[in-house]
C-alpha cells in the first residue's frame, strides 16, 4: 500500500489481512478442511468514498460483506470501523456497530416481511434501537420516505410489500437501511433483480443519497457496466483474494489482471455486431475454495501464466502505476 | 417463389381468468421467423413475454379464458392440432423450450445423461442404447465433458446445469428452441460461455432461436432480429442491425437509453411510471401514459405500420 500522509484523516473502514475460513466437518466429527472464503484481503475505505467489489459467485464477496457487517467472526486479520476494532466488540458494542452500517440486499421482495406494512417495516429498526416515541419514529420515517422519493408518504405507509413494484420495494429496503443514519452502506447487487429501466433510477437515487449524506458505500456487483455510474474505485475479487484495485476510470481504461480483462471482455454493450463473433472466455471455472490451486489461484485458466512462477508462488501485490494495485506476477518490476 | 417461413404467428391471444378479472397476458401478437435465425423478444417484467412462450408451446394452466390465433410452424397451423398431434409433432420435435431457471428444475435424483436422453426416448422412439450415442453428441455440442454423463445435477455448477437443460432441448433436433431468460441467474463469464454455445449451435446445426429476456445487452450477442414487447403486445420488430443503433418506438428508445454501457459515456435514462396492468389494459396506445411524444391520435389503438422490413405499432410512424 502507498504510504499515508500523517495528516490524512483516518479511513472510515480499514481491513487488514482478513481471513475468513469456514471449517468443514465430516459427518459431524473429524475435521475435513477449510473453505477459505476470504484469504488475505486488505483495503481502506475513506468517509464518503464509494467502492465497487466485483467478482463472480464463489469469489468470497458475500463472506467478506457478512464479516464487515459483523455477521461473521473473522478467522484472522483486523477490521477497524469508525475507530473501533471489530474483534474487541461484543454484546451491546457489537449491536451498536451493526447499527452504523446499512445493508441493501439483492432481492427486494425477499428482504421485506410480507405480513408487515411499510410503516411497520420501517418502524422496526427504530424500535429495536430504542426510539420509544411513536411521533419521533413517524417523523423519521416520513423524512426517509421523502428521500427515497416515495410520495405521497401516507399512501405508501399502509401498503404491504406485494402491492409495490420491484423498484418501490427496493426503495423501501434502502429507506430501511438509511433509517439509523449509518456511515456505511453495503449494497449487495441492489439492482440486479430489477427491470432494466428501473435499475438506473435506483442507482441514481443511491448516488444522490450518498452525496447528500456523505455516505461510504460498498457496492457489490457483477455488472461492470454500472460501476462507472456509482463507484470511485473498483476492487476485483477472485477466489478469496482482491486481485486488482484501482480508480474506476483507470481500471476500465487499463485493466491489468488477466481475469479483469476477461470480465470486461465478457461484458456486452447492446451492439448488433456482437452476434458476429465469439467471446474469448478463459477456460475452466473458479477454483474450489477448499483446495485452491498452488501459487496464483487464477493460473490454471490464465493464458499468460508463467510456468514455474505462477503455479508455485502466490503473487505479491504490485503497484505498476500510482494507486493501481494488482496481484499478478506479470507486473513484477524488473 | 415464396419460401415458407419457419414460424408465423398471427393475432395470438392468451388471456387468463383470475379472481380479480381477466389478465390479457398475450394480446394480439404477430411475428415471423425464418430458418436459422434468432429473434430476441425484449421486454420487462409483466409484459407477457413468458406467457408468449407458453402460448407458443401450448403449455397452458387451467384458468385460460381465451387462447386463439394462428401459429404456423413450417407451413402447418399447429393451433388446429389436437392435444395428441401437438404432443407428437410440435413439442420437443418441432419446438423445444428451455424455461426460466431450467437449471434448477433438473430432477435431482436422476443422472444428467439419463435426463438428456429422456426426450429423445419418448419423442423419437429410440431405445436406451441408441440414446447413449445421441446424448454424447449433445454433450459435445453444449460443451459439457463426456465424463459428466453419469453425474447428478448437484455435482454440476449452475453454468453446467444450464448446458444440460440446453442439451435436453436439443436432443430431439427441433427446428426451433425457445429460451426464457437463459443467462439471468448466471455469472458473467458463464453467461458469455452460454452465449458462445448458442452461437455455435446456431452455426453448426442451423437451429433457430427465440430468446426471451430483459437483458438487452446480452441479447445482442445472439439476435438477428428483435421484437419489443410491452403490455401484452409487440410494439416493434426489425433486424438487429437496424434496431440497436436506431430504435423507432418511443418505448424502445427509452428502453435502449436506460441500458448502462461499459464502452461509452452515455448517461442512462430511466422511464418514469410503470407499465399498465394486464388486467385492465387502457384503451388506445398502451404506452401513451408514459410517452413524451403522445398526441391526440394516441387515444386510439395504433395499428402496426411497416417500412423497410421494420414494423412499429405507433402513430408517429403512420
Percent of chain A with pLDDT over 70: 97
Task: Give the pLDDT confidence score for residue A6 in this predicted structure.
Answer: 57
Q: Is A40 on the interface with B (CB under 8 A)?
A: no
Backbone angles phi, psi at A242, to 5 degrees: -90, 110
Express each pLDDT in A277-333 by its tens digit: 999 899 888 888 888 899 999 999 999 999 999 999 999 999 999 999 999 999 998
Express each pLDDT in A109-145 by its tens digit: 888 999 999 999 999 999 988 888 999 999 999 999 9
CA distances from A195 to A113, A166, B250 (A): 22, 8, 17
Point out the residue among A166, A222, A275 whose CB comes nearest to the CB of B188.
Answer: A222
pLDDT band at B66 (very low <50, low <70, confident <90, very high): very high
* Greatest C-alpha distance within chain A: 68
Cβ–Cβ below 8 Å for A281 and B218 = no
First to last CA, chain B: 30
pLDDT band at A229 (very low <50, low <70, confident <90, very high): confident
- Cβ count within 10 A of residue A291: 11
pLDDT band at A5 (very low <50, low <70, confident <90, very high): low
Those residues whose C-beta lies under 8 Å from the C-beta of residue B1, and which sit 6 or more positions away, are none
ipTM (interface pTM)? 0.85
Interface of B with A in 2-41 (CB under 8 A): 38
Express each pLDDT in B158-184 by its tens digit: 889 999 999 999 999 999 999 999 988
Task: Give the pLDDT confidence score for residue A25 in this predicted structure.
Answer: 79
Task: Give the pLDDT confidence score for residue A2 in this predicted structure.
Answer: 47
Point out the residue among A204, A252, A270 whose CB comes nearest to the CB of B217.
Answer: A270
Instruction: Answer whether A320's CB lies under 8 Å from A251's CB.
Output: no
Cβ–Cβ below 8 Å for B189 and A166 = no
Q: Is B190 on the interface with A (CB under 8 A)?
A: yes
Query: For residues A213 and A220, what is the distance between their CA atoms, to the nearest angstrom?
Result: 20
pLDDT band at A32 (very low <50, low <70, confident <90, very high): confident
Give, for A246, the enclosing helix (H) or strand (E). Answer: strand A241-247
pTM of the full predicted structure?
Answer: 0.88
Locate the chain A residue with the closest alpha carbon to B276.
A165
Average the pLDDT over each of A80-84, A197-201, B2-6 and give the range with the smallest value.
B2-6
Query: For residues A276 and A265, what is the distance between their CA atoms, to the nearest angstrom?
Result: 15
Please give, rounded to a whole number of angstroms, the shortest distance from the CA of A29 to a CA of chain B.
23
Of the two residues A90 and B69, the one the predictor is more confident about is B69
CA distances from A67 to A70, A191, B150 (A): 5, 22, 38
Average pLDDT along chain B: 91
Mean pLDDT of B88-109: 89
Q: Is B148 on the interface with A (CB under 8 A)?
A: no
Task: Give the pLDDT confidence score for residue B168 in this predicted structure.
Answer: 94
pLDDT band at A1 (very low <50, low <70, confident <90, very high): very low
Those residues whose C-beta lies under 8 Å from the C-beta of residue A292, and which sit 6 or more positions away, are A36, A39, A239, A240
Distance, CA of A302 to chain centre: 25
Amino acid at each position: 500500500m502507498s504510504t499515508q500522509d500523517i495528516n490524512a484523516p483516518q479511513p472510515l473502514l480499514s481491513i487488514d489481512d482478513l481471513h475468513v475460513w469456514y471449517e468443514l466437518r465430516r459427518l459431524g466429527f473429524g475435521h475435513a478442511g477449510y473453505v477459505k472464503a476470504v484469504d488475505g484481503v486488505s483495503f481502506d475505505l475513506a468517509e464518503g468514498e464509494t467502492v465497487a467489489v466485483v467478482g463472480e459467485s464463489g469469489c468470497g464477496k458475500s463472506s467478506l460483506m457478512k464479516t464487515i457487517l459483523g455477521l461473521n467472526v473473522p478467522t484472522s486479520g483486523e477490521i477497524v470501523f469508525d475507530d473501533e476494532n471489530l474483534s474487541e466488540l461484543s454484546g451491546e458494542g457489537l449491536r451498536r456497530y451493526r447499527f452504523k452500517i446499512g445493508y441493501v440486499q439483492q432481492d427486494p421482495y425477499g428482504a421485506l416481511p410480507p405480513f408487515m406494512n411499510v410503516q411497520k417495516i420501517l418502524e422496526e429498526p427504530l424500535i429495536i434501537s430504542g426510539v420509544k416515541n411513536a411521533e419521533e419514529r413517524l417523523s423519521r420515517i416520513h423524512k426517509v420516505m421523502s428521500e427515497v422519493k416515495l410520495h405521497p408518504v401516507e399512501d405508501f405507509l399502509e401498503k404491504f410489500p406485494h402491492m409495490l413494484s420491484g423498484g418501490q420495494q427496493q426503495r423501501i429496503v434502502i429507506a430501511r437501511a438509511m433509517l439509523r443514519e449509518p456511515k456505511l452502506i453495503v449494497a449487495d447487487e441492489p439492482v440486479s433483480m430489477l427491470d432494466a429501466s428501473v435499475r438506473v433510477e435506483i442507482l441514481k437515487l443511491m448516488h444522490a443519497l450518498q452525496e447528500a449524506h456523505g455516505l461510504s458505500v460498498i457496492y457489490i456487483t457483477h455488472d461492470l457496466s454500472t460501476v462507472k455510474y456509482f463507484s470511485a474505485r473498483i476492487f476485483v475479487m477472485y477466489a478469496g483474494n482482491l486481485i486488482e484495485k484501482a480508480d474506476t476510470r483507470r481500471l476500465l481504461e487499463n485493466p491489468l489482471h488477466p481475469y479483469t480483462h476477461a470480465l470486461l471482455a465478457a461484458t456486452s454493450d447492446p451492439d448488433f455486431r456482437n452476434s458476429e463473433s465469439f467471446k474469448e472466455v478463459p477456460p475452466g471455472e473458479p477454483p474450489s475454495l477448499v483446495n485452491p490451486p498452488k501459487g496464483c489461484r487464477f493460473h490454471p485458466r490464465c493464458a499468460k501464466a508463467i510456468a514455474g512462477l505462477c503455479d508455485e508462488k502466490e503473487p505479491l501485490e504490485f503497484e505498476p502505476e500510482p494507486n493501481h494495485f494488482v496481484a499478478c506476477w506479470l507486473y513484477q518490476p524488473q | 417463389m415464396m419460401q415458407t417461413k419457419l414460424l408465423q404467428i398471427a393475432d395470438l391471444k392468451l388471456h387468463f381468468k383470475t379472481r380479480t378479472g381477466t389478465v390479457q397476458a398475450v394480446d394480439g401478437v404477430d411475428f415471423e421467423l425464418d430458418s436459422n435465425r434468432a429473434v430476441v423478444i425484449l421486454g420487462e417484467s409483466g409484459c407477457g413475454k413468458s406467457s408468449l412462450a407458453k402460448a407458443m408451446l401450448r403449455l397452458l394452466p387451467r384458468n385460460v379464458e381465451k387462447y386463439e390465433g394462428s401459429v404456423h410452424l413450417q407451413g402447418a397451423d399447429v393451433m388446429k392440432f389436437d392435444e395428441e398431434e401437438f404432443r407428437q409433432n410440435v413439442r420437443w420435435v418441432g419446438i423445444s423450450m428451455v424455461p426460466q431457471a431450467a437449471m434448477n428444475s433438473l430432477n435431482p435424483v436422476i443422472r444428467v445423461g439419463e435426463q438428456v436422453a429422456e426426450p429423445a426416448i419418448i419423442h423419437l422412439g429410440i431405445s436406451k442404447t441408441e440414446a447413449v450415442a445421441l446424448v454424447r453428441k449433445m454433450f459435445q455440442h453444449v460443451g459439457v465433458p463426456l465424463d459428466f454423463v453419469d453425474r447428478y445435477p448437484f455435482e454440476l455448477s449452475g453454468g453446467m446445469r444450464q448446458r444440460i437443460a440446453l442439451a435436453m432441448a436439443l436432443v430431439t433436433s427441433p427446428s426451433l428452441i425457445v429460451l426464457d431468460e437463459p443467462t439471468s441467474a448466471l455469472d458473467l463469464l458463464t453467461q458469455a460461455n452460454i452465449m458462445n454455445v448458442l452461437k455455435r449451435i446456431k452455426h453448426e446445426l442451423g437451429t433457430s432461436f427465440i430468446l426471451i429476456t430483459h437483458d438487452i445487452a446480452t441479447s445482442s450477442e445472439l439476435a438477428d432480429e428483435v421484437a419489443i414487447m410491452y403490455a401484452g403486445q409487440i410494439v416493434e420488430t426489425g433486424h438487429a442491425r437496424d434496431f440497436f443503433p436506431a430504435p423507432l418506438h418511443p418505448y424502445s428508445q427509452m428502453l435502449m437509453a436506460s441500458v448502462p454501457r461499459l464502452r461509452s459515456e452515455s448517461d442512462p435514462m430511466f422511464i418514469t411510471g410503470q407499465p399498465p396492468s394486464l388486467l385492465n389494459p387502457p384503451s388506445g396506445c398502451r404506452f401513451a401514459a408514459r410517452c413524451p411524444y403522445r398526441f391526440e391520435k394516441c387515444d386510439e389503438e395504433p395499428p402496426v405500420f411497416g417500412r423497410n422490413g421494420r414494423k412499429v405499432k405507433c402513430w408517429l410512424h403512420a
